[in-house]
Chain A
Amino acid sequence: MNDPSVPEHEKDSAGSDSTEYDAARAEAAPEPASQAPDDTASQVADGAVPDGNVIHDGSEVADGRAAIGGGDAGDSSPEMVRPEAHTRAERRTVARRSERDPVRATIRGLGQLLITAGLVVLLFVAYELWVTNLFGEAKQAQATSKLDQLWAQESDTVSAPDPSVITQPGGVVVSTAAAPTLAPGERTRQYNTTEGVGFAKIYIPSFGADFMFTIVEGTNQHDLYAGPGHYDKTQYPGEEGNFALAGHRVNKGAPFDDLGLLQSCDAIVIETQSEWYVYRMLPQKDEVATWADTAHAHCAGVSVQTGKYKGVYGQEITTPADIAQVYPVPHVDNTVVPAGAERLITLTTCHPKFSDRQRMIIHGVLTASYPKADGFVPPEMQEVG
């Protein structure tokens, strides 16, 4: 009984009250004759465990105690009376034996599977919150550089700008929000769009001077991964009707992360190949009652919506199925742009954050537009919050 391997072996079966277990173990790993006392030792352990389930081994406990010549086995926990295996080889043998046992192997495998599943879920959270942003930022940077290249090429190849647009020598256009150099309706769109490819840039100065995203055409999952996407059946910047964009709020670059912080009259500036368009957010629902009596900065051209536009507010929370929000006249289920329609912008994103349950909608109205010229930046871009 002083063989050090014996008590170690007893550890394997400690706590087990199954006789099939011992039989299976014996079958899986036939013992040499010299280790015959193992069984006695394991029965000692069984009896020593302070557990009613194994009390049937009680008679053998007495034998076991006598065999090991000590009276303290019953007082101590099984761990206390068990010396460690002395050599690495012995430990390995023991470990191997216990791994071959089908019950242990199954339970261990199940435990490892559950731990692994937990780690995979944690990894998915890290992926959602962090890795998709890295991917999204890379796609956005790619879309932006592609758009910049396109604009640089086309400005080389396109003939001299329309003389009515550049009104000042030196290419600098001086215009005010109240008097755009050219009414948006008189401009013609000079760009074509391709699904997934950038065609304009969006700036929201109140979110900081560095808030700029390239807008791509289309709103499928690949388009929105690269940046805010234009609902391809809605109108284009500056046009009558509704220029509608969708964007992610919490991951994949999260262009519309802070949309909930946008205040009425905040500028949303769109840069296209040849124009700047300045939209301003409409009054919010709770501001409507007092709108006329309150002084507002930067609110020229922004008013409470009336007529067929009644009920269109700066910020709305709606359901994901509310497609009419991006129609020419929001809330009106008609995709035809009516004569004399307002020039609106609509931004959509998910709401609340991390959820797909609702949508946050931002509506704005066009208040100014400028032709692009070297060195010219719309004054609204200075409204950094």
Chain B
Amino acid sequence: MYGWIWRHLPGPFAARFLQAALLILVVVALLMFVVFPWVEPLLPIDSGGVTN
């Protein structure tokens, strides 16, 4: 998977490295801002209130 991505990135090593770093940042941002906030309320971690 990662090898496939690496081989399909164009340019010399430095350019590939930068693109790979950018891809990682995009994925992390997607997780932090979209996926985790969505999944968090579904997990029994922390909720401050009492309800009936």
Contact = CB atoms under 8 A, between A and B. Distances in A.
Nearest to A353: B46
B41 interface: yes
A190 B37 CA distance: 36
A246 B49 contact: yes
A355 interface: yes
Contacts, number: 85
Interface stretch (A119-127, A177-185, A336-344): A119-127
B30 to A, nearest CB: 11
A246 B48 contact: yes
Nearest to B52: A323
Interface in B1-52: 1-4, 28, 31-32, 36, 39-41, 44-52
B50 A325 contact: yes
A354 B46 CA distance: 6
Interface residues of A, number: 43
Contact of A251 (B1, B4, B46): B46
Contacts of B45: 128, 250-251, 354-356
A318 interface: yes
B1 A320 contact: no
Given A120-B31, A127-B36, A128-B40, A321 B52 contact: yes
Interface string A150-163: 00000000000000
A364 B34 CA distance: 39
Contacts of B4: 99
A245 to B, nearest CB: 9
7 contacts: A112-B1, A250-B45, A256-B48, A320-B50, A326-B50, A350-B46, A361-B50
